[in-house]
Amino acid sequence: MSLWTSDEIARATGGVACGTFAVSGVAFDSREVGPGDLFLALKGEQADGHRFVAQAFAQGAAGAVVSEAVEGPHVLVADTTAALNALGVAGRARSSARIIGVTGSAGKTGTKEALAAALERAAPGRVHRSVKSYNNHTGVPLSLARMPADALYGVFEMGMSAPGELDVLTRMVRPHVALVTTIAPAHAEFFPDEAAIADAKGEVFRGLEPGGVGIVPHDSPHRDRLYAASERYAARTVTFGSGAGADVRARDAMAGAKGTLVSVTMPTAELTFTLAPPGAHWVSNALAVIAAVDAVGGDLNAAGLALAELDGLKGRGARTRTVFGGGDVLLIDESYNANPASMAATIALLGQEAAARRIVVLGAMRELGAGSDDYHAALAGPLVAANVKFALLVGDEMTALARMLESRIDFAHVANAAAARDVLRDRLRAGDAVLVKGSNAIGLGRIVDAVASGNL
């Protein structure tokens, strides 16, 4: 069954179909186009997608959405970006799936992936989710446009870096369940304080469908603020956490060699499961997943089984054993994103690893505003507590942390990822556990790939 026909695309976008075709996928990045896909030729600040239409067809695209005439089957529209939004809205409008929207300062992608896996366990092939971190003004409508008409569940990640952005996205997604994972000083450059960040995240509840459920972190200092934001739009608000009074509460969480055994108390059920990814932050993510599965009437037992089988995501916690220097090295890949809360959590997790030495490669945290130096300097305490033997700091913003580490931990401070790779090549040893974490713009993913492939 096709995802969209040319006539359906034309009706959704107000365009004119030039040729008859059907597509099985949607993409606006020509590098991602595969056989049977629809290619949307967006015009951006850096590039015009119309330059890549021929390439998209050469890669097997079945059709294109364009704003100027091209060779090959296409739908001609006035504005391709507006057409993407319209196709996303149409994808949502035709769906009878139960929709879950996920946002938060940290843990969005991991929670979204875990939630999709938890639902998929009981409904194989019937769960749609946004891929990668497609969570912005183009990624969200793209993800909606990719949703099959017969999906039972849809899980959509939504992000923001300024007030008002989530308001727009959530009204497009129209979730039945809206979930906030946590509040932390991510994108602090654009907000006066954390309370303002919480308010911006609370916009996710504005798009809730009638009878919808809001899910908020009980243990957050901004719980009451988020709860009040949810109550304005939700028929019911559910809290998750470890503290007394949480609706979905971790009664016990015991870490072991094969994962964390979590016992959960809920208003109408009790559940015990093994959680594969390590760390207290993942216990919190798992509680949010259980709350959301319950809110859409999913199978809680199947969800527990899925959580026991979760693998780490590339750039977001993937763990790899590789050979370096004639021996085994544990590589923890957190290279995609970083904020003060997630930095501290993953450094603490490294401190629990049995290793000859614990090493970190930390890239600068971006968009922290006037408090950037203080946020970076504050990582010194977690590094010392985790008994880190060598810290490789990357980027100008790490200067404040470098000052704090003097005479406390062996460290090196370099300007960029290329220089960091050279230093790590000389310092890494067999038996080490190495954590690589930083904002994606720093480019530490290349170091991860080099270590994992043995070509550092």
187 pLDDT more than 80? no
Which residues, listed in sequence order, are joined to residue 18 by a DSSP beta bridge? Answer: 74
pLDDT value, residue 51? 95
Mean pLDDT of 179-206: 91
Judge contact between 166 and 150, C-beta under 8 A: no
Mean pLDDT of 97-121: 95
241 pLDDT more than 90? yes
Is residue 235, in this structure, part of any structural domain at all? Answer: yes
pLDDT value, residue 256? 84
Q: Taking the CB of residue 440, how many other CB atoms lie within 10 A of it?
A: 15
Whole-angstrom distance, CA of residue 367 vs CA of residue 375: 11
Give the percent of the chain with pLDDT over 70: 100
CATH number, domain with residue 360: 3.90.190.20
Whole-angstrom distance, CA of residue 148 vs CA of residue 127: 9
Statement to judge: residues 139 and 251 lie in one domain: yes
Whole-angstrom distance, CA of residue 193 vs CA of residue 222: 12
Domain boundary among 88, 114, 131: 88
Statement to judge: residues 284 and 374 lie in one domain: no
Is residue 196, in this structure, part of any structural domain at all? Answer: yes
Mean pLDDT of 249-260: 90
pLDDT value, residue 417? 94
pLDDT value, residue 324? 85
Residue bearing tokens 């259980």:
290
Statement to judge: residues 75 and 124 lie in one domain: no
pLDDT value, residue 142? 97
> Helix, strand or coil for residue 216?
strand
Is residue 313, in this structure, part of any structural domain at all? Answer: no
Judge contact between 277 and 254, C-beta under 8 A: no
State the Cα angle at 252 between 248 and 257, rounded to 5°.
Answer: 125
Band of residue 137 on the pLDDT scale cut at 50, 70, 90: very high
Q: Taking the CB of residue 85, how many other CB atoms lie within 10 A of it?
A: 20
Phi, psi of 179 (to 5 degrees): -120, 130
Mean pLDDT of 78-102: 98
Could you read off the pLDDT of 275-299 as tens digits, one per residue?
Answer: 998 888 999 999 999 999 999 999 9
Statement to judge: residues 103 and 181 lie in one domain: yes
CA atoms within 13 A on the CB side of 110: 32
Band of residue 114 on the pLDDT scale cut at 50, 70, 90: very high
Band of residue 254 on the pLDDT scale cut at 50, 70, 90: very high
Is residue 44, in this structure, part of any structural domain at all? Answer: yes
Which residues, listed in sequence order, are joined to residue 5 by a DSSP beta bridge? Answer: 22
Task: Tell me the whole-structure pTM to 2 decimals.
Answer: 0.86
Statement to judge: residues 158 and 287 lie in one domain: yes
Amino acid (1-letter code) at residue 72: G
Whole-angstrom distance, CA of residue 131 vs CA of residue 142: 10
DSSP 14: T
Statement to judge: residues 79 and 108 lie in one domain: no
Statement to judge: residues 128 and 206 lie in one domain: yes
Could you read off the pLDDT of 28-74 as tens digits, one per residue?
Answer: 999 999 999 999 999 987 889 999 999 999 999 999 999 999 999 99
Could you read off the pLDDT of 381-406 as tens digits, one per residue?
Answer: 999 999 999 999 999 999 999 999 99
pLDDT value, residue 455? 84
Give the percent of the chain with pLDDT over 90: 84
Q: What is the CA radius of gyration of the chain?
A: 23
DSSP 143-160: HHHTS-TT-SEEEEE---
pLDDT value, residue 278? 87
Q: Which of 72-81, 244-253, 335-344, 351-360 has the lowest mean pLDDT?
A: 335-344
CATH number, domain with residue 48: 3.40.1390.10
Strand 16-18's sheet: what is its strand order? 16-18, 74-76, 63-66, 37-40, 25-27
Statement to judge: residues 68 and 144 lie in one domain: no
> Helix, strand or coil for residue 254?
strand
- Tell me the two tokens of residue 89: 């809205």
DSSP 344: H
Calculate the CA dihedral of residues 372, 375, 376, 377 and round it to 10 degrees.
120
Mean pLDDT of 338-361: 92
Whole-angstrom distance, CA of residue 90 vs CA of residue 294: 27
Is residue 47, in this structure, part of any structural domain at all? Answer: yes
- Tell me the two tokens of residue 12: 């959704």
Short-list 345, 350, 336, CA closest to 442: 336
Whole-angstrom distance, CA of residue 316 vs CA of residue 226: 26
pLDDT value, residue 246? 98
Into how many domains does the chain fold? 3
Kindly list the distances between the CA atom of residue 60 and the CA atoms of 24, 63, 75, 312, in Å, as whole numbers in the listed order.
Answer: 11, 9, 17, 32
Is residue 431, in this structure, part of any structural domain at all? Answer: yes
Amino acid (1-letter code) at residue 106: A
Q: Which domain holds residue 338?
A: 318-453
Statement to judge: residues 393 and 261 lie in one domain: no
Band of residue 412 on the pLDDT scale cut at 50, 70, 90: very high
For residue 272, with 0-12 CB atoms within 10 Å meaning exposed, 13-18 middle and 19 or more buried, which class applies?
exposed
Whole-angstrom distance, CA of residue 249 vs CA of residue 266: 7
Statement to judge: residues 277 and 369 lie in one domain: no
Three-class DSSP labels, 263-315: EEECCCCEEEEEECCCCHHHHHHHHHHHHHHHHCCCCHHHHHHHHCCCCCECC
Judge contact between 102 and 115, C-beta under 8 A: yes
Statement to judge: residues 290 and 361 lie in one domain: no
- Tell me the two tokens of residue 250: 């971790």
Q: Which residues are CB-contacts of 51 (< 8 A; sequence separation ≥ 6)? A: none
Statement to judge: residues 345 and 420 lie in one domain: yes
Is residue 312, in this structure, part of any structural domain at all? Answer: no
Calculate the CA dihedral of residues 39, 86, 24, 72 and round it to 10 degrees.
-40
Kindly list the distances between the CA atom of residue 359 and the CA atoms of 88, 193, 331, 393, 401, in Å, as whole numbers in the listed order.
Answer: 44, 32, 10, 11, 15
Band of residue 133 on the pLDDT scale cut at 50, 70, 90: confident
444 pLDDT more than 90? yes
pLDDT value, residue 394? 96
